[in-house]
Structure 1
Amino acid sequence: MRWPRATVPAWVVHAGFLGVLLLAGTAYASGGRDQRVVVYTAVTVLPILTFLAALASGNLPDRRPWLLAVAGLVMLFLQHLAWPEWIVDAHLGRAEGALPDLSQSLAHSLFLLGTAMALRRRASADPGGIIDAALFGLCSGGPLWEWVVRPHLPPGAPPIGQALLLGDLLVLCGVAGCLLRLGMMGRPGRGTLAYLVLTAILTLGSTVMSALSPGGSGVWSAELMLAAYLTIASAPVHPDAAEVTTPPHTGAVVSRQRLGWLALALSANPLIAAVQVVRGEGSASLLLPMGSLLVVPLVLLRIHLLSAQRDRAERTLAFHATHDELTGLHNRRHMAAEIDRALADLDRGVLDEVTVLLCDLDGFKPVNDRYGHPAGDAVLREVASRLTAAVRAEDVVGRLGGDEFLILCRGAAGLDAGELRHRITAAVREPIAVLGATVSVGVTTGVAQARPGRCADRDMLIGIADAAMYAGKTRRRDEARERPTRLPSP
């Protein structure tokens, strides 16, 4: 039996978070070395349990990405079991390059990958904005590293340790930027996203705090990390967690202001490197390549998205320039160009015949008057679909406007114009369901044909078809007027 999706109200989650934070924080600060290890161990288990409970209850859709995130949390827990005093002894943020540093980076990457996969649907509403936020966060990590963390690292910190620490800081900054952007996109899921943002910020703050207190006890750094574990434990049980993957209905626009901030952010790391070179500092070679390894792929992805967006806009403009908006058929301009090309091919001997059929609906106005324009639009769309199905694949169907349609047949290829006209009449005459009612319309078709040796241009061809079509309408009206006056035979 599945549990109810939202197991507790939001205020209960907030109260539980604050209560456990106060209890765990007090116990850690007042306890001895062994007691701190116990408290920290208990806190690292809590998010694993809440995630598993949320997955079992259905409070987290898209189970596989969240299970990947749980794997990252399990790796952090196993790291703590293997090195239980690593946090207590303030090794976090010291760039030692030891196995705990590597395992923590891998665990963070695994958890962040799972979270990113789970939030991909929400991010799809504004992929460009998410990439911009990630770039801004990554680039803001450069000054944080250079002016806050690096000056306080222990002398002789190995390059591998510095690289791991710098990469962790940059990724956390980028993730915080992405999550903030996701939270700004819409109300659904905002409570859970707020806890995820706090997790990234608190983890970042814990790392920085540990770097700023060399040789200290690291109590404040550990307290911040405890708070980070508790925020991530609160995220999956929040009632908003079920909606965190729902794409909000927003239309994101790349504004000049956003591009200006992005350009400023991308200039941060090169400017820092330039200042380092001017000062003669020897560490200029670390920030720039590490930052570039993370920034350049995102910039390329952003350019790809902009290029794809431009291509889609061009295709959309081209489509609307040649197609009717209501029916999706070709419009008058495109049909005129197609007829001109067909007649040119006829003159060159490429085609042996060009046929134009002009179709005008009968009984369409009463449908519009009785059921309204939405019903009339539905009839026009259905007629367009039936005309397309009635002709050959190589024939071109267009809408001239109103209830007039035009069909262009290139080449005879065994085509019998009379047979095609009867097929069109039978297809259009079938009942059409609109707005809970069933209506029927007819069609009158005028045919005009051009063959080699007989001079004809587009206007003449359409004029002949138009005259034939109106002659058919007149004949039908005359027959309708005569029919009621006929007397029954004796």
Structure 2
Amino acid sequence: MLLAAVTGAVVVSVVGYGTKPGDLLYASFYLAVCSVAWWAALRLPPGPARRPWLLVALAQTLWFAGDATELVNFYVFADVPSVGVADAFWLSGYPLMAVALTLMARRRAPGRLRSGVLDALAMTVAAAAAAWQFLIEPQLGQGYSMAETVVPVLYPIGDVVLLAAILFVALSPGARTAPTRLLLGAVLLYLLVDIGYNALPYVLDYSVVERIGPLILLGNAAVVAACLHPARAELTTPAEPTANLHPARVLFLGLALMTAPTLTLMHAGFGRAEIAALLATALCASFVLTRFTIAVREQERTQAQLAYQAQHDPLTGLANRAVLTGRLERQLSAPDASVAVLYLDLDGFKQINDEHGHEAGDAILTAVAARLSSTVRETDVVARLGGDEFVVLCPGLPAEEAAELAERVLQELAGPVAFRGVRLAIGASIGIAAHQGTRPCSTTALLREADTAMYEAKRRGRGTWVLGGTGAGSTAPHMAR
């Protein structure tokens, strides 16, 4: 779609935008883009994730209706009013697109948009100030009628609203891959075209200015390409909180701070004193923003450390009980869930603690954690529940393969652990519980089944495994020698 729009824009530019063949080609490509926009939106399942794309398709359609109205006025009625129905269509598309983008931002970060909104508003206010000075204020007091004065002013206002909405999306937490970049690029193209139509006639002939019109095709196609992209869900799916104080974000905030003083001096004139004041303001803003960035980065590092500590066992670095139960709940909540749990309890650990001290016990626990992590699959989760109890969560692993994994774990743990020149013998008893999605199952029930199987393994002689619910188990114990 994007490639087709690029081709269309180039063809339109070559044939001649503003001529009848060029305008017909432009309208044909634009109609195709609108059709694909509706198809892309309607193929999504009904729900909150589809609503923004429906609004996007409606906005595209209104903009196309404005272009079509303008073409009819020109080629059929030979009369293009300075203000007319086409403007009503064009202006109606701005709030719809802005609402669509805002809905995406709210879906990405429900209840967590405060920092992004504040930063976006700061940048938007700066853009609004520039729009007022260069685009809006010159339109006022020119002796035009009320409609001829108000309508041209509404376009820069619409651009500012669109800018705020796309900044909400860009500055919200979550991934910023191709779909987000396509939307950002589309809105920037809209803004460039609108600014060009308003500002360039002061320095260029309008026959040259209108050549930028085909860029609209690229923007519209980029929006549709974002909806068709396989990763489009990133725009409407709640995202994990992220540390998002990117250097570019600080740079744009600094530019926003400098906008008002710069515009004021541009209006008053640049003398030596004014330039010195502007440079001093820029330096102060740079220092303050740098200090602010350092403070925020330190806070982010502290938060990351606290988050890690809240999710990991401090001795072994393994996941803790909270992480294990959370992952297991998500696995069991999936349709046709398939998951296995290995519940391990070390054999002879208390004796080692009593004879060699707690440091030896810590060495055993650390060694067991390392051996478990190196034995299981990358997709498995190894957790320490406390004391000498460990759990391995194995998504998508059937019971037979879980038993094979238990055998490998027992063999790996059977080797002695060296501690201060002493070889400490250690082993484990493993209980296995497997869920294949054939019946409802809770996290508590599955862990209880594995725990019960583990105690049965200990009763049978330790160094063994038992599959819960079946009584099957290893035939020979695996003990350190």
TM-score, L = length of structure 2: 0.48
Tell which structure's C-alpha radius of gyration is larger: 1
TM-score, L = length of structure 1: 0.47
